[in-house]
């Protein structure tokens, strides 16, 4: 299956990489329109597959079409009537003229997660196609339905055969075969740290380039000059959005000691009021975890924290609501003042679990926030303009949110540092990792180069 997909992609690449940018842009816009026409059906599939509330899924599908539109614009701007990008480069020697060409890299293997099935795929597919690459997409086996529909949309939009391929299967089978295939020029992966290490090792054998967007354990720092209601809502949204199954979740919350008690009281009240249940019902804000395996993993971490005697502010168990009895539900869970070496504090949980810790000074909280093996994102809530800038500079992360948590836009790059991986999705430069640079140097002088004495520098000399 993988070999067939890669062979098809190599054929599709020859056609698609030679297609002018304006035509590629047109096809990308047609893909966006096809997504829009299927919005409701795709959102329902996403909710059925991943368990996320339907209104979240609808929001995701809007972002999918917007991402294709954005890279249609970028494709038009970068390539225009050519299939490649080219610019003149001034050189220090007048005898030579320099050009820089940027061309499609080739066939790209994309391995994507289950928490945003179609959106995470689109973050990679749209810029890769805009660059002129062909892709083989391997979505998570836990949530692949919408990615398969994307294949139908691409055919309908006029994408050449083989330019976009979807393969399904387990990571240790289909994913491993994709990484090892010699017909794949690059791998771009979003998922867990553990799988990222395996992929990096597999690609190293052929010195195959790889881009990794891995886990996170992001911090949210709340100062005492904030609007308490806004701070509590962003704390909830930052951790419990997407049922807590998001790599950038600000699950480590730091609250200034002066407002600790007020914040915790309001946080508990608000967390216990979050509507959960059937994710297909409008108004649901917390659905089930994606699978039994993920539910058991999260619950084991919660139970270990409880056995160690960590203070549980709220949650930590399955809801008593009869509608949640059969699903993989977990109440919004908040621990307070756990040790900084605790598993629930340091490790990515990927579920609706938050840890809150108190701080006294800006210097102290910067050190605690940066004390993590991950460095994807961080957020600060404060009304002090100077403090916002200081915290933005101090956070050792790839993403900083100010007075909010989790917003994401196609116009800005997404990615982290440390064990959160390397490489960036999205942004104006989002196509760069799917292009290779080729320098072209032309000798333009009429005179011989005359490095060797037997060649003189007389103009127009002939043999």
* Rounded-to-integer distance, Cα 373 and Cα 417, Å: 9
* Rounded-to-integer distance, Cα 16 and Cα 181, Å: 21
3-state secondary structure of 441: strand
Domains of the chain: 2-213+431-440 (3.40.605.10), 219-402 (3.40.309.10)
**pLDDT by position in tens, the chain (length 463):** 999 999 999 999 999 999 999 999 999 999 999 999 999 999 999 999 999 999 999 999 999 999 999 999 999 999 999 999 999 999 999 999 999 999 999 999 999 999 999 999 999 999 999 999 999 999 999 999 999 999 999 999 999 999 999 999 999 999 999 999 999 999 999 999 999 999 999 999 999 999 999 999 999 999 999 999 999 999 999 999 999 999 999 999 999 999 999 999 999 999 999 999 999 999 999 999 999 999 999 999 999 999 999 999 999 999 998 889 889 999 999 999 999 999 999 999 999 999 999 999 999 999 999 999 999 999 999 999 999 999 999 999 999 999 999 999 999 999 999 999 999 999 999 999 999 999 999 999 999 999 998 887 565 544 4
Answer whether 166's CB lies under 8 Å from 141's CB.
Answer: no
Answer whether 130's CB lies under 8 Å from 199's CB.
Answer: no
Classify residue 83 as left (phi > 0), alpha (psi -120 to 50) or beta.
alpha
pTM here? 0.95
Neighbours of 346 (CB within 10 A): 17
- Helix (H) or strand (E) holding 87, with range, is strand 85-89
Answer whether 379's CB lies under 8 Å from 223's CB.
Answer: no
* Rounded-to-integer distance, Cα 453 and Cα 96, Å: 21
| Residues sharing a CB contact under 8 Å with residue 69, sequence separation 6 or more, in sequence order | 28, 29, 32
Strands 377-381 and 399-402, sheet pairing: parallel
pLDDT of residue 265: 99
3-state secondary structure of 395: coil
Strands 311-314 and 333-336, sheet pairing: antiparallel
- Helix (H) or strand (E) holding 30, with range, is helix 21-37
CA-based nearest residue to 285, from 237, 335, 221, 321: 237
Radius of gyration of the chain, Cα coordinates, nearest whole angstrom: 25
Q: What are phi and psi of 351, to 5 degrees?
A: -165, 175
Query: Following DSSP, what letter does each residue of 330-388 receive, concatenated?
Result: ---EEEES--TTSHHHHS---SSEEEEEEES-HHHHHHHHH-SSEESEEEEE-S-HHHH
Sheet holding 399-402, edge to edge: 311-314, 333-336, 353-359, 252-256, 219-222, 377-381, 399-402
* Rounded-to-integer distance, Cα 231 and Cα 306, Å: 26
Strands 210-213 and 421-422, sheet pairing: antiparallel
3-state secondary structure of 448: coil
CA-based nearest residue to 355, from 308, 392, 390, 322: 308
Q: Which of 56, 58, 213, 348 is catalytic?
A: 213
pLDDT of residue 228: 98
- 213 annotated active-site: yes
pLDDT of residue 457: 59
pLDDT of residue 410: 98
Neighbours of 424 (CB within 10 A): 18
């Amino acid at each position: 299956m993988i070999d067939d997909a890669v062979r098809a992609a190599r054929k599709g690449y020859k056609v698609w990489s030679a297609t002018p940018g304006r035509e590629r842009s047109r096809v990308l816009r047609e893909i966006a329109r096809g997504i829009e026409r299927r919005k409701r059906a795709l959102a329902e599939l996403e909710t059925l597959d991943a368990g996320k509330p339907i209104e979240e899924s609808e929001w995701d599908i809007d972002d999918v079409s917007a991402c294709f539109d954005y890279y249609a614009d970028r494709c038009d701007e970068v390539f225009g009537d050519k299939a490649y990008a080219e610019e003149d480069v001034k050189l220090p020697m007048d005898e030579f003229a320099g050009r820089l060409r940027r061309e499609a890299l080739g066939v790209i293997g994309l391995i994507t997660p289950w928490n945003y099935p179609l959106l995470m795929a689109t973050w990679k597919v749209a810029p890769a196609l805009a660059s002129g690459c062909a892709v083989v997409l391997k979505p998570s086996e836990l949530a692949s339905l919408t990615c398969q529909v994307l294949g139908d949309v691409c055919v309908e939009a006029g994408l050449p055969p083989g330019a976009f391929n979807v393969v399904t299967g387990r990571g240790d089978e289909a994913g491993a075969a994709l990484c090892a295939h010699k017909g794949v020029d690059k791998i771009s992966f979003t998922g867990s740290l553990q799988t990222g290490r395996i992929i990096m090792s597999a690609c190293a054998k052929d010195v195959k380039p790889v881009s990794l967007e891995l886990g996170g354990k992001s911090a949210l720092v709340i100062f005492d000059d904030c609007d308490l209601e806004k701070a509590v809502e962003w704390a909830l949204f930052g951790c419990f959005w997407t049922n807590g199954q998001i790599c950038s979740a600000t699950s480590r919350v730091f609250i200034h000691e002066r407002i600790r008690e007020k914040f915790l009281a309001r946080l508990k009240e608000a967390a216990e009021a979050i509507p959960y249940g059937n994710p297909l019902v409008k108004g649901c804000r917390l659905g089930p975890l994606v699978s039994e395996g993920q539910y058991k993993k999260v619950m084991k971490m919660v139970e270990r924290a409880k056995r160690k005697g960590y203070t549980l502010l709220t949650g930590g168990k399955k809801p008593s609501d009869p509608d949640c009895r059969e699903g993989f539900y977990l109440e919004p869970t908040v621990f307070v003042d756990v040790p900084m070496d605790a598993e629930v504090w340091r490790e990515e949980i990927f579920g609706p679990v938050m840890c809150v810790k108190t701080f006294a000074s800006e210097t102290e909280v910067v050190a605690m926030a940066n004390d993590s093996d991950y460095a994807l994102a961080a957020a600060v809530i404060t009304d002090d303009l100077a403090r916002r800038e200081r915290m933005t500079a101090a956070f050792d992360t790839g993403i900083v949110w100010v007075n909010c948590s989790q917003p994401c836009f196609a116009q800005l790059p997404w990615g982290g540092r440390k064990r959160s991986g390397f490489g960036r999705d999205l942004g104006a430069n989002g196509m760069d990792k799917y292009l290779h640079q080729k320098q072209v140097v032309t000798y333009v002088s009429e005179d011989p180069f005359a490095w060797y004495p037997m060649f003189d520098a007389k103009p127009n000399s002939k043999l």
